[in-house]
Chains A and B, each alone.
Chain A
Amino acid sequence: MDILTYSGHLLSGAWVTVQLTLYSSVLGLFFAFVLGVGRVSDNPFVHGLSAGIIEFFRGTSLLVQLFWLYFALPMIGQTLGYDWRFPPMLVGTLALALNIGAYAAEVVRGAIQAVAPEQYEAAKALDFSPRQTMWRIIVPQAVPEMMPSLGNLAIQNLKDTALVSLISLADLAYKAEQLRNFTQDSTTIYSLLLLMYFGMALVVAGLMKLAERYACRWRAGGNT
């Protein structure tokens, strides 16, 4: 078997990896903004809940979270009388999104706190409501600040997707394992696998760089 045949076989797995990365990154970004803004809220309940969720998902291992959602959650459902055996794709996306979302939430929080306090005053002078101030004035200014860190987290997320192969999701790593079991050609397959992930990481890095440039267009000098 040669590299070309291997590649063909791995491609379907690569597609699953791409989808997984995309869905979990988007969902994770959503969680990041909700939790990050919640973390800076004046409301003690919102503040505490956001901080708690962030600390919980940052403090526990992703693989532990993944296994818990895949193995333990159905058992709880069983005792309660619900069928909580979700497909690996859903479990994987959720676990990845929650994990990366918690880390990204800290990035969001830091960036929001870096916005000049005078902006809050200017918004208040114009009578914006607190919600309008946060989402129309503050958060847009925080976005360029977040971009470099979010770029790193996006690549981290891509790497993390490999773990879903351990809950039998047919991603790139899973397909490679299958292939290796069949051909025993470890060196070629794993080298190819590493190169494919590296290539995908470079693409993600490139896309994030473009996003960063777009987000920073109003800044003096044009970049972070």
Chain B
Amino acid sequence: MLFGIEWDTSSHWAFAVSILPILGKGLLVTLQATVVGFLLAAGLGLVLAGLKGMRSRLIAWPARFISEFLRDTPLLVQLFFLYYVLPDYGLVLPAFMTGALALGLQYSAYTSEVYRAGIQSVPAGQLEAARALDLTPGRTFVAIVLPQAIPRIIPALGNYLVSIMKDVPILSVVAVLELLNVARIIGDRSFNYMIPLSMVGLIYLLMTLVAAWAVRKLDERLPKEGIHLQ
């Protein structure tokens, strides 16, 4: 039993059905970790993109280095680092938050690139026109650049949301009770790994297909030329 729920070992089918609610609890944690991790990644990525784009090399270069470093090192190792090193310096976070933070940091490197690419994709001619019309840099960014950059940024962020979801199982190493961890514990206790793991695989496949469909639908609904402003 797990989470106070017993499973039924009378048949394969009964077993599968009886562990469904248990897996459901794990799925909830997975989804929570995905959302929190994504929000952190989106927010931190914005900060990182801003720092990387600064004219002052004193700020931009270290920012670019950090971004590259986060991209090129494994999430697992970053997670261990945060989990074991932070407490030594007085910062003790619950495992879930440590995991979400690790996800946020790793993917902030990717989202910062998405922001940068999205903004760069706005044709230079747009900036020239804005300057010719004497718009301030602030206004140019908010009213001209951003609305045109968003249709490229949103789908890319959507894809990273899906990637984050697929990386959540790594959090199991710090005992976060997400979907894969729950399945593994069921397997440890019931000696049947095949059914829980296969179910997790299918659940993940289903979630990815739904998420990919949702991203595609969102992409279709966003006007290609930019967010329409009245």
Task: Answer yes or no: A and B touching, Cβ < 8 Å.
Answer: yes
- Nearest-CB residue, chain A, relative to B211: A59
Q: Is A11 an interface residue (CB 8 A)?
A: no
Q: Is B21 an interface residue (CB 8 A)?
A: no
Q: A68-B197, A190-B85 are in contact. Are A60 and B205 (CB under 8 A)?
A: yes
Taking the closest CB of chain A, its distance from the CB of B184, in whole angstroms, is 7
- Interface 1/0s, chain B 141-175, versus A by CB < 8 A? 00000000000000000000000011111101100
Taking the closest CB of chain A, its distance from the CB of B74, in whole angstroms, is 4
Evaluate contact between A190 and B77: CB separation under 8 angstroms.
yes
Q: Which residues of B contact A34 (CB under 8 A)?
A: none
Evaluate contact between A162 and B76: CB separation under 8 angstroms.
yes
**Most chain A beta-carbon contacts within 10 A, residue among B78, B192, B194:** B194
Bound-complex Cα distance A173 to B74 (A): 9
Which of the residues A64, A75, A198, A205 comes within 8 Å of B201, measured between beta carbons? A64
Q: Is A90 an interface residue (CB 8 A)?
A: no
- Nearest-CB residue, chain A, relative to B173: A166
Bound-complex Cα distance A163 to B76 (A): 7
Taking the closest CB of chain A, its distance from the CB of B202, in whole angstroms, is 9
Q: Is A187 an interface residue (CB 8 A)?
A: yes
- Nearest-CB residue, chain A, relative to B204: A60
Evaluate contact between A202 and B72: CB separation under 8 angstroms.
yes
Evaluate contact between A64 and B194: CB separation under 8 angstroms.
no
Bin chain B's interface residue count: 35 or more
**Most chain B beta-carbon contacts within 10 A, residue among A158, A163, A205:** A163
Bound-complex Cα distance A161 to B205 (A): 22
Taking the closest CB of chain B, its distance from the CB of A202, in whole angstroms, is 7
Bound-complex Cα distance A190 to B198 (A): 33
- Nearest-CB residue, chain B, relative to A186: B84
Number of interface residues of A (CB under 8 A): 40
Q: Is A201 an interface residue (CB 8 A)?
A: yes
Q: Which residues of A contact B204 (CB under 8 A)?
A: 59-61, 64
Evaluate contact between A162 and B74: CB separation under 8 angstroms.
yes
Evaluate contact between B77 and A162: CB separation under 8 angstroms.
yes
Bound-complex Cα distance A67 to B74 (A): 18
Taking the closest CB of chain B, its distance from the CB of A98, in whole angstroms, is 13
Which of the residues A58, A63, A186, A201 comes within 8 Å of B73, measured between beta carbons? A201
- Nearest-CB residue, chain A, relative to B81: A190
Which of the residues B76, B194, B212 comes within 8 Å of A173, measured between beta carbons? B76
Q: Which residues of A contact B88 (CB under 8 A)?
A: 186-187
Q: Is B200 an interface residue (CB 8 A)?
A: yes
Q: Is A207 an interface residue (CB 8 A)?
A: no
Q: A59-B205, A186-B88 are in contact. Are A72 and B73 (CB under 8 A)?
A: no
Q: Which residues of A contact B166 (CB under 8 A)?
A: 60-62
Q: Which residues of B contact A177 (CB under 8 A)?
A: 80
Q: Which residues of A contact B167 (CB under 8 A)?
A: 61
Q: Is A76 an interface residue (CB 8 A)?
A: yes
Q: Is A85 an interface residue (CB 8 A)?
A: no
Which of the residues B170, B194, B212 comes within 8 Å of A63, measured between beta carbons? B170
Q: Is B187 an interface residue (CB 8 A)?
A: yes
Evaluate contact between A159 and B74: CB separation under 8 angstroms.
yes
Which of the residues A76, A160, A205 comes within 8 Å of B74, measured between beta carbons? A160
11 CB contacts below 8 A, A to B, read A60-B204, A67-B184, A68-B198, A71-B184, A71-B194, A75-B194, A155-B72, A159-B72, A161-B74, A193-B80, A198-B69
Query: What 9 A-B pairs are tightest by C-beta distance, nearest first?
Result: A201-B72, A59-B208, A162-B74, A186-B84, A71-B193, A63-B169, A159-B74, A61-B166, A72-B194
- B residues in contact (CB < 8 Å) with A: 69, 71-78, 80-81, 84-85, 88, 165-170, 172-173, 180, 184, 187, 192-194, 197-198, 200-201, 204-205, 208-209, 212
- A residues in contact (CB < 8 Å) with B: 55-56, 58-65, 67-68, 71-72, 75-76, 155, 158-163, 165-166, 173, 176-177, 180, 186-187, 190-191, 193-194, 197-198, 201-202, 205
